[in-house]
Structure 1
Amino acid sequence: MLYWVLKHILLGPLMKLFCRPKIEGVEHVPSTGGAILVSNHLAVADSFFMPLMMPRRVTFLAKREYFTGKGVKGKLKKYFFSGVGQVPIDRSSGAAAQAALDTGIRLLAEGKLLGVYPEGTRSPDGRLYKGKTGVARMALESGAPVIPIAMFGTDKVNPIGSRMWRPHRVLIKVGPPLDFSRYEGMAGDRSVERAITDEIMYALMELSGQEYVDVYAAKIKDDLAAQGRGVAGWTGSPQRPGGGRMPESKAG
């Protein structure tokens, strides 16, 4: 109920008024059954605009801290994130990571649309970074289709570090489903899961027009923080998913 109210009465109309979001390729999203929506990740606002423009409810796996705050503010935050379709997970250990994957597979088996950011965190500079293989494991074990999605403009609406959103046009491009049926029964094979993940990242690179850097975004953020430098200090070269230099691609 809260999800419907937020989407159609409270947040949704305001987001449409100030940001005029547009979606292309929505016909690639199945009308029924589980599917994995894999997206680039530019801003927190991605998790608001994608569900807003999808014809079906989208569920995200969110860090547990969003649901464990104290006092009235903590309760309101828990109520809000539950209402917008986010499910709490613990990301503090290897066992917790497996539990998160199990939760995702369960949601897919229940026929839900599962939103996943393969980079694992927001891009520090607007480029596309190396994907984590959990998405491949979920795809192999669930058999759900994987649908690439590219977000545009959300980093202008909600720049890193900003407290207030700003009016800016948002575009969402949905690509055709990716076929990994040739890997059926090979879940747990690390080389296969890496190959699938790299294929997903290549599809996102093609759809978004972003430069790709074959390094984890979280590592770049940690390294820059340790050096006391901002994200502008990172100057890694664009590459193809899986390695190898490539020329810059133009933004879509």
Structure 2
Amino acid sequence: MTYEEIWRRLTAVNEQGEAKAIARMLLEEKFDMSLADILCGGVEQLPAADVEWLEQAVSRLEHQEPIQYVLGWAWFCCHRFGVHTGVLIPRPETEWLVDRAVAIAKAAGGRQLRILDIGTGSGCIAISIKKALPEAYVEAWDISDDALAIAAANAKELEADVRLCRRDALSAEAGAERWDIIVSNPPYICDSERVDMDANVLDHEPSTALFVPDADPLLFYRAITRYALAALNEDGHLLFECNTRYAEATAAMTKSEGMGSADVADDCFGLPRFVDAVR
């Protein structure tokens, strides 16, 4: 097998430029090859066991499985997180939530904060916050046992002391706990948007972490906002990643429910994707 053979096989399901990029990423990430190594025949020098793995990996990619699942990891906030089909693949735009939480914490002047991540998935948000703010207490919730197991493995691997809990965002009731920051990237893609999505997402990433009914696109945001109103400390922040179609509506909803203010922020692609609401 050669590099050219790999990317040509991938053109069956990708444009040529993307096929080449995926092939390079596979070889660079898995075998630590430089571009020079790849172009100078590094693939042909792999031992038999690696060639066997590579053949299976290319076959999975031909079936449009995301490369992060094929590799078994994805990068987020400069940390490598284990991922497989039980959790969403971390996206670079989501790093805004971590950056904003860290900025809020630093503006608090070093006070030890209590931070909650609702719908943690792989744990990428909660763990990245803990790595940046080791003095903070960080807790993360998910309803999926698979997700919690993956998040626990990532927390152990990255040596992040994050408390993981099985709790449902739609039925969360505030108890004695109080938070300074609540962050969430909940399901927000409407069922009707499925037709515009790529097969590698639809066929492989968990639908329960992606979709909400068309009739109630703010389903999770409303439930989490109501919990936050009861559980946030005064001047506490509620940080959301949103469907870009509904970012303004999400901000308006948080204010109508009782938040004191809510600002919309753009993602790295210039699209309105985040809400920062303050109690």
TM range (shorter): 0.3 to 0.5
Relative to the length of structure 2, the TM-score reads 0.33
Relative to the length of structure 1, the TM-score reads 0.35
Higher strand share: 2
Larger Rg: 2
Which structure carries more relative contact order (alpha carbon 8 Å, separation 6+)? 1
